[in-house]
Amino acid sequence: MPTVQVPLGNRSYEIQVGNRLIATLGERCRRLKIGTRCAIITDTHVAAKYGDGAIKALKIAGFTPTLIAVEPGESSKSLATVGKCFDLLAAHRIERKSFIVALGGGVVGDLAGFIAATYLRGIAFVQVPTTLLSQVDSSVGGKVGVNLKAGKNLVGAFHQPRLVLCDLDALVSLPDRDFKSGLGEIVKYGIIHDAALFQRLEKQMEPILARQSTALSSLVARCCAIKAEIVALDENDTGARAALNFGHTVGHAIENSIGYGKLLHGEAISIGHVAAAHLSARRLGFPAADVQRIKALLQQAGLPVSLKLTADKRDRLFAAMRLDKKVNAGEIHFVLAESLGKVVWGQRVPDAEVNWALDQIKE
Amino acid sequence: MPTVQVPLGNRSYEIQVGNRLIATLGERCRRLKIGTRCAIITDTHVAAKYGDGAIKALKIAGFTPTLIAVEPGESSKSLATVGKCFDLLAAHRIERKSFIVALGGGVVGDLAGFIAATYLRGIAFVQVPTTLLSQVDSSVGGKVGVNLKAGKNLVGAFHQPRLVLCDLDALVSLPDRDFKSGLGEIVKYGIIHDAALFQRLEKQMEPILARQSTALSSLVARCCAIKAEIVALDENDTGARAALNFGHTVGHAIENSIGYGKLLHGEAISIGHVAAAHLSARRLGFPAADVQRIKALLQQAGLPVSLKLTADKRDRLFAAMRLDKKVNAGEIHFVLAESLGKVVWGQRVPDAEVNWALDQIKE
């Protein structure tokens, strides 16, 4: 079973990738020597599938778990939900040495992680991501947070989990669209850090889409290892970690404005990858053939590479890009690729060229 | 002008203690090399007194400040207020390199600090405490947070300010009761760390109560230095920092249950000091004469040393003590003194003795 180390000094932890891991949650938590009281934070959909299994695993290992299930969906990543969960944690007498288990996708992980980061000024938490997207991305690295009306992830903290369990069995029952959304971030790891991974994806998309266990196991582990490597270089996101935002300047803007509730994260990011690839070619000489390879691979993964773009939607996209956390002194910045596997960040792009890039993703 | 260093590696900062400091806020912020956009978070009372001066000082130094004034009082230390402030920060385009100035007492400092700790996953902030209590205690050390219905400070973070400016001029117009409340924490520093400071307080209470500038300057600086020393030993509150909770087990419980809205923090803590002193004598041989000295000094400072205690109130005090953040596995813990200037923490005290200590503070 692949194990990936995230080396962050006294905040180091392991990511375990394998089958039937939720059943081992209790014994793995016991090895962390944390308190006996704990709260599983999840959503009602995930609770129906894995809640009983997680509770049973924790109880057998001697823990006293309580389960808090929020509504599924992005709207739960809010301060209002955070407040309700805080009150429940206090009612359940969750103490400083207690811990939180985040059981679910990215929304649950970000929400539960932020709650763990701030309840009693921070308590331990364990990530049990149940979607492909959260297994390869959001569960690793300690970025946790919630949304404001003004934008996604505008409130949060850096709070590393004590353990990440990527149970591959959870991927089998994932809706097709959610699974493919995860592939949007996986393609990103190829672009920003690993040309060999990119080639592997080109060759193995079929077994991956068929969710073959061996293909998924090495893929999830490789993506986690890349993320761990980047996070270890730049835990607090002041440098190298920016590379992880490839495709996200346009992708987040799509999510935050015109695509909200319509496009999944990986779908918006997929379109963002295409925009960033075109800009990379225009500004940094990234090979035109590789722009096409990126586009083709995303299409092979069943992801969108363009969207309908009226003048009004274009304006809203620009406004959203200017509100992004990555904005500095009002300028829009991009992560751009020099070649497959090699990116540079903090690239200021003039509005005219951003507009040109939007033309490239216009349906 | 006294300057106290808080040595915390790359989170180190200076505390400056002196007169007319708010007028120098802009130039001092400029030396920190932080962004130009900033938000002053304050309350409407403090804004009326010092808001214009702070804005002017920042503008002259080239900053673009905006002012956010919350309602005065403990009820603003809530998630609801945090949410409103977040929305205003986003509307004012506060970015990662922008910063927050906390201008006011402990409520404002804790609230604004928590907002700075979590907005965009953490931005810089500067503390400008305007009460004696916040100058000697809450503005130093990076503990920030808000209250839940279940208790005070149950949500928060460790987020160090980049600078603390203790403007002594702000103390002159402080209401008498607020000023004396600050003395409750100052007496604590004598008990836990500095017998000489305790003696000085016994001798100099008159000029201190008259708010003579030279007496206040060295007093505030000495308390900040003690706090800085303890915080440097234990930034994240897993050891030595517990000493700062002398008097707080009972004091917090009084605030959280029967005294809420009736007693100021320093007043509740003052009664807590007396309870802890009696327990110290009973359990650790702390001299009975020094118990009386503590009581006499607090009375000299105009602080309460007892309270009315019905059976019902006693029950509520116990319930509140059990909900404290410092509870571990349901046990109530105390910081107790071995001698003046020397304390030990994590002292488990049986309920019967806690009850006996409550008898000692019963009016």
pLDDT in tens, chain B (363 residues): 899 999 999 999 999 999 999 999 999 999 998 999 999 999 999 999 999 999 999 999 999 999 999 999 999 999 999 999 999 999 999 999 999 999 999 999 999 999 999 999 999 999 999 999 999 999 999 999 999 998 889 999 999 999 999 999 999 999 999 999 999 999 999 999 999 999 999 999 999 999 999 999 999 999 999 999 999 999 988 899 999 999 999 998 998 887 667 899 999 999 999 999 999 999 999 999 999 999 999 999 999 999 999 999 999 998 888 877 666 666 789 999 999 999 999 999 999 999 999 999 999
Residues A124 and A152 in one domain: yes
Residue A319: pLDDT band (50, 70, 90) is confident
Chosen domain end from A172, A207, A231: A172
CA distances from B322 to A4, B255, B328, B332 (A): 40, 14, 9, 6
Q: What is the pLDDT of residues A23-80, one digit of tens each?
A: 999 999 999 989 999 999 999 999 999 999 999 999 999 999 999 999 999 999 999 9
pLDDT at A257: 83
Is position B216 within any domain? no
> B276 with B246: CB under 8 angstroms?
yes
Residues A167 and A196 in one domain: no
- Answer whether residue A358 shows pLDDT above 70: yes
pLDDT at B7: 96
Residues B164 and B194 in one domain: no
CB spacing of A121 vs B151 below 8 angstroms: no
* Structural tokens at position A26: 């209790």
SS3 A7: coil
pLDDT at B262: 87
Is position B296 within any domain? yes
Q: Which residue has the higher pLDDT, A94 or B257?
A: A94
Residues B75 and B100 in one domain: yes
Residues A147 and A14 in one domain: yes
CB spacing of A95 vs B148 below 8 angstroms: no
CB spacing of B121 vs A79 below 8 angstroms: no
CB spacing of B150 vs A91 below 8 angstroms: yes
pLDDT at A152: 84
Give the total number of structural domains in chain B. 2
Give the residue carrying structure tokens 């000029």. B207
Backbone angles phi, psi at B101, to 5 degrees: -105, 120
Q: Which candidate, A179, A248, A187, places its Cα nearest to that of A223?
A: A187
Residues A233 and A164 in one domain: no
Q: What domain range includes position A333?
A: 192-360
Is position B109 within any domain? yes
Based on C-alpha coordinates, what's the Rg of chain A?
Answer: 20
Chosen domain end from B114, B145, B172: B172
Chain B interface mutation, best of A120, A121, A322, A324, highest count of B Cβ atoms under 10 Å: A121
Is position A187 within any domain? no
* Structural tokens at position B195: 């017998």
pLDDT at A61: 97
In CATH, what number is assigned to the domain containing residue A163?
3.40.50.1970
Residues A121 and A246 in one domain: no
Give the residue carrying structure tokens 């517990």. B242
Contacts of A148 in chain B (CB under 8 A): 86-87, 90
Contacts of B79 in chain A (CB under 8 A): 79, 82-83, 86
pLDDT at A262: 87
CA distances from A41 to A22, A100, A115, A132 (A): 14, 7, 10, 19
> Is A323 in the B-facing interface, judged by CB distances under 8 Å?
yes
Distance CA B223, CA B138 (A): 11
Residues A117 and A211 in one domain: no
pLDDT at A1: 81
B94 to chain A, minimum CA–CA distance in Å? 9
Is position B62 within any domain? yes
pLDDT at B322: 82
- ipTM for this model: 0.92
Residues B200 and B132 in one domain: no
CB spacing of A327 vs B87 below 8 angstroms: no
Residues A25 and A161 in one domain: yes
What amino acid occupies position A279? L
Mean pLDDT of chain B: 95
Is position B215 within any domain? no
SS3 A42: strand
**DSSP string covering B96-135, please?**
TT-EEEEEESHHHHHHHHHHHHHBTT--EEEEEE-SHHII
Answering whether pTM is above 0.90, one says yes
> B233 with B258: CB under 8 angstroms?
no
In CATH, what number is assigned to the domain containing residue A240?
1.20.1090.10
Is position B178 within any domain? no
What amino acid occupies position A75? S
Chain A interface mutation, best of B155, B234, B321, B328, highest count of A Cβ atoms under 10 Å: B155
Identify each DSSP E strand in chain B by its residue range.
3-6, 13-18, 37-43, 64-70, 99-104, 124-129, 143-148, 151-158, 163-167, 333-339, 342-348
Residues A16 and A124 in one domain: yes
Q: Which residue has the higher pLDDT, A124 or B324?
A: A124
Is position B252 within any domain? yes
Burial of A318 (0-12, 13-18, 19+ CB in 10 A): middle
CA dihedral B196→B202→B208→B213, nearest 10 degrees, is -30
Pairing state between β B99-104 and B124-129: parallel
Pairing state between β B3-6 and B13-18: antiparallel
Chosen domain end from A172, A205, A229: A172
Residues B189 and B152 in one domain: no
Between A and B, how many residue pairs show a Cβ–Cβ distance under 8 A?
103
